[in-house]
Chains A and B, each alone.
Chain A
Amino acid sequence: MAGPLEGVRIVEMGQLIAIPSAMKWMADMGAQVIRLESVQRLESYRTDSLYHNDVDGEFWNRGANFYEQNRNKLGLTLDLSRDEGRAVLRDLIAVADVFAENFTPRVIRNFGLEYEDLRKIRPDIIMVSSTGYGFNGPWANFGATGPATEGAAGLAYITGYRDGGPVMSEIPFTDYTAGEHTVAAVMLALMHRLNTGQGQFIDVSQTQTCSATIPEALLDWTVNGRVPERIGNEDPAMSPHGCYPCAGDDRWIAIAVDSDEAWLGLCRVMGRADWAADERYADVLSRIRHRAELDKMLGFETRNRDNHELMARLQAEGVAAGAVVDSEDLLFNEHLQERRFYEIVAHNDATGMPPLPYAGRPWKLSDTPAVPPQPAPIMGQHNRDILAGLLGRTDDEIAALEEAQVIGFAPLSPRGVRRPSLDEQVRQGRMQRYETDYAERVAQWFGTDR
Chain B
Amino acid sequence: MGLEWLPNSFGGLILNNGALAGVKVIDLTHHIAGPYATKLLADFGADVLKIERPGGDPGRRLPPFYHDEPGAETSLPFLYLNTNKRSITLNLKSETGRAILMDLLADADAVVENFAPRVMPALGLDADTLRKRNPKLVVASVSNFGQTGPWRDFRATEIVEYALGGLMYIFGAYDREPLKHALHQAQFKAGTNLASGTLMALYHQRLTGQGQRVDVSIQESIASALRDVTNNYTYTGAVRRRQPNHTGDLTRLRAVSDGYVLPNPGMGATLDWKVLVDFLEAPDLDDERFDNASARLENAEALGDILDQIFATKQKQEIFYAAHQKRFIYGVIDSPEETVDNPQIQARGYYVPVHHPDLGEIMFPGAPFLMSGSPWAVTDAAPRLGEHTRAVLGEMGYSTQELAWLRASEVI
With beta carbons under 8 angstroms apart, the residue of B2, B179, B204, B339 that contacts A160 is B179
Smallest CB–CB gap between B230 and chain A, Å? 5
Least Cβ–Cβ distance between B289 and chain A, in angstroms: 13
The listed residue (B163, B223, B237, B350) touching A434 by CB distance below 8 A is B237
Does B91 make an interface contact (CB < 8 A)?
A: no
The digit string for B359-380, where 1 denotes a CB below 8 A from any CB of A, is: 0001111111111111000000
Do residues B362 and A169 form an inter-chain contact, with CB atoms below 8 A? Answer: no
Tier of interface size on chain A: 35 or more
B117 within 8 Å of A (CB atoms): no
Closest residue of chain A to B148 (Cβ to Cβ) is A339
Chain B interface, number of residues (Cβ within 8 angstroms): 163
A356–B234 CB distance below 8 A: yes
CB-CB < 8 A to A436: which residues of B? 237
Beta-carbon contact of A430 and B260 below 8 Å: no
| B197→A365 contact, CB < 8 A | yes
Chain A nearest CB: distance from B101 CB in Å? 21
Contact, CB under 8 Å: B22 / A195: yes
- Complex contacts, A425 vs chain B, CB 8 Å: 238
Q: Report how far A100 CA is from B235 CA in the complex, Å.
A: 29
Docked complex Cα distance between A154 and B351 (Å)? 14
Please choose the segment from B209-217, B305-313, B393-401, B404-412 that sits at the chain A interface, where 4 or more of its residues have CB less than 8 A away: B209-217
Chain B residues with CB under 8 Å of A321's CB are 155, 160
If the complex has contacts A148-B264, A324-B163, are A181 and B371 also in contact, measured as CB distance less than 8 A? no
Q: Is residue A61 contacting chain B, with contact meaning CB distance below 8 A?
A: no
Mark out the residues of chain A between 420 and 437 whose CB falls within 8 Å of any chain B CB in the assembled complex: 420, 422, 424-426, 428-437
Q: Are A191 and B76 in contact (CB under 8 A)?
A: no
A401 close to B (CB within 8 Å): no
Q: Tell me if B132 counts as interface (CB < 8 A to partner A).
A: no
Inter-chain contact A331/B234, CB cutoff 8 Å = yes
Residue B195 at the A interface, CB < 8 A? yes
Q: Which of B90-143 contact A (CB under 8 A)?
A: 127
A171 partner residues in chain B, CB cutoff 8 A: 167, 170, 225-227, 229
Among A46-54, A82-90, A277-285, the one that faces the other chain is: A46-54
Chain A: CB-nearest residue to B62: A216
* Residues on B with beta carbons closer than 8 Å to the beta carbon of A188: 19-20, 44, 199, 371, 374
Given contacts A227-B336, A359-B223, contact A429 B241 (CB under 8 A): yes
Q: Which of B20, B230, B248 has the most CB of A within 10 A?
A: B230
Per a CB cutoff under 8 Å, which of B193, B213, B228, B242 touches A366? B213
> Which of chain B's residues 217-255 have a Cβ closer than 8 Å to chain A?
217, 219-221, 223-244, 246-248, 251, 253, 255
Q: Report yes or no: B233 in contact with A208, Cβ–Cβ below 8 A.
A: no
Task: Give chain A nearest CB distance to B147 CB in angstroms.
Answer: 8
Chain A: minimal CB distance from B38 (Å): 12
Beta-carbon contact of A364 and B236 below 8 Å: no
Residue B51, interface by CB 8 Å: no
**Residue interface mask B286-303, A partner, CB < 8 A = 1:** 000000011001101100
Asked if A418 contacts B350 (CB within 8 A), the reply is no
| Whole-angstrom CA separation of A156 from B238 in the bound complex | 27
Is A270 engaged at the interface, CB distance under 8 Å to the other chain?
A: no
Q: Is the CB of B370 within 8 A of A202?
A: yes
Residues of A229-264 at the interface with B, using a CB-CB cut-off of 8 Å, are 230-233, 235-238, 241-245, 250, 252-254, 256, 258, 262
B330 neighbours in A (Cβ, 8 Å):
148
Q: Mark A154-194, 1 if CB is under 8 A from B, else 0.
A: 11111111001111111111001101111111011111101
A111 at interface by CB-CB < 8 Å: no
B178 within 8 A of A: yes
Taking a contact as CB atoms under 8 Å apart, the answer to whether B365 and A167 are in contact is no
Whether B210 lies near A220 (C-beta < 8 A) is no
Asked if B77 is an interface residue, CB under 8 A from chain A, the answer is: yes
B15 interface residue, CB < 8 Å from A?
no
Assembled-state Cα–Cα distance A165/B333 (Å): 11
13 A-B residue pairings within 8 Å (CB atoms) = A4-B201, A5-B203, A68-B228, A137-B343, A137-B347, A151-B331, A152-B342, A213-B185, A213-B188, A216-B64, A252-B178, A327-B166, A330-B229
Q: A153-B339, A170-B170 are in contact. List 6 more A-B contacts (CB 8 A).
A: A137-B343, A151-B260, A233-B177, A233-B180, A322-B161, A433-B239
Q: Which 4 A-B pairs have the closest CB atoms?
A: A148-B331, A44-B268, A200-B373, A363-B197
